[in-house]
Amino acid sequence: MSDVTFGTALQTVTDVAGFARRAEDLGFDLLGCGEHVMFHGPVGNTFISLSVAAGATQRIRLLSSIVLLPLYPAALAAKLGAALDVASNGRYNFGVGVGGEFPKEFEACGVPVNQRGARTNEALEVITRLWTEQNVTFHGRFTTTNEVTISPAPVQRPHPPIWVAGRRDAAMKRAARYANGWLPYMYTPEQLHDSIETITRYRGEFGRDMEDFNPGVFIFTTVHRDGAKARQMCNDKLSTQYAQDFTKLVPRYALAGTPEECHKRLQEYIDAGARTIILPAAGPADYNDDNLAMIAQEVIPAFRGGN
C-alpha cells in the first residue's frame, strides 16, 4: 500500500509551527489547513497558517483544505498560492471549495452566496493561466485581467497541484475539468467509489484521462484503546465544531474507534479508490497529541509499504 499518501490537518490557530513540526516528525506526508472568515469558533486562514508551517518544516507537503475560493479575487488567490509555493520551495497543494455553509461570511465579503460555484469555476481557469502563462488577458463575468503576469511564478511545474473539495455532482465536474485531485469530506467509502466513477466519466467528456488524477478523502479521526470512548470524543468534537448533533454521522463519515477498527474502516476507503487520505485528529484539546500519535504510529503503518 505504499502508493497511498497520508496527511493530517492543523488543530491549532496559535502554535502552528509546533504542530507542523510534530506532524512532520510523526511521518505524515501532508499537512492540511482550512479556513473561514468567520465560523462557529476560532478559525485561521489557510495561506497564513501554511506559510508559518512552511517556515517551520523541511519535508512535509502543505495542503489548503480548503481555500474558500469564491471569497477571493482570482488574481489575488493566484498570487497567494504562487508566493506560498515559492516560500515552501515547491511544497504547496492548492485545495479549493465553494463553501456556503456559513452565509454570513459571504455577506461580509460582499460575495453573493448563489454565485459561489460560477466564481470558483472562473477563478480556477484564471489561476491556471496566471500560473502557467505571462501577460494574461482574460475578460470574464467576475474577473478582468489585461496583460497580468504573476512573478515569481510557482516553483512546481506546470503549477501546484489543484484539489477540488465538495460532495455533489457540480464539485465532481469541477474536479474533472480543472483539478489534479478530488478531496471530498463527510463521505462514505461507497460515496467515494461512486464519485470517482463519475469524475472518470466527466474527465472522458473533457478529453482527459485519470492517469495523473489523485482521488483523495478527508476523514475526521479519533483513535483510542477504548472504541466507544473514541466515538464519543469524536462526536463531542464535531457536534461542537459544526453546531449540530453528530451522533448518527460519526459512524458514517468519521474514522473513530480502536486502531483495529480504524484499520478495517480505512481499508474500505482504500478499496474504494482513495490514494490520498487526510486524517485530522478530532477530539478534546488535551487528547490531540495522543490522538495524532496513535493515527501516525498505530493506524497508518499498516498501509505503508513493507508492513
The full set of domain ranges for the chain reads 5-303
pTM listed for this prediction: 0.95
Is the distance from CB of 94 to CB of 84 less than 8 angstroms?
Answer: no
* Residue 75: all three cell numbers together: 488574481
- Which positions of the chain have pLDDT values less than 50? 1, 306-307
Contacts for 192-195: CB closer than 8 Å, 24+ residues apart? 192/217, 192/269, 192/272, 192/273, 192/274, 193/272, 193/273
CA end-to-end distance (rounded Å), the chain = 9
Superfamily of domain 5-303: Luciferase-like domain (3.20.20.30)
What pLDDT is recorded for position 1? 40
Over the stretch 14-59, which tens digit does the pLDDT of each residue have? 999 999 999 999 999 999 999 999 988 899 999 999 999 999 999 9
What pLDDT is recorded for position 194? 98
Over the stretch 114-130, which tens digit does the pLDDT of each residue have? 999 999 999 999 999 99
What pLDDT is recorded for position 247? 94
The DSSP line for 32-52 is EE---SS-SS----HHHHHHH
* Residue 148: all three cell numbers together: 497580468
Distance between CA 212 and CA 162 in Å, rounded? 12
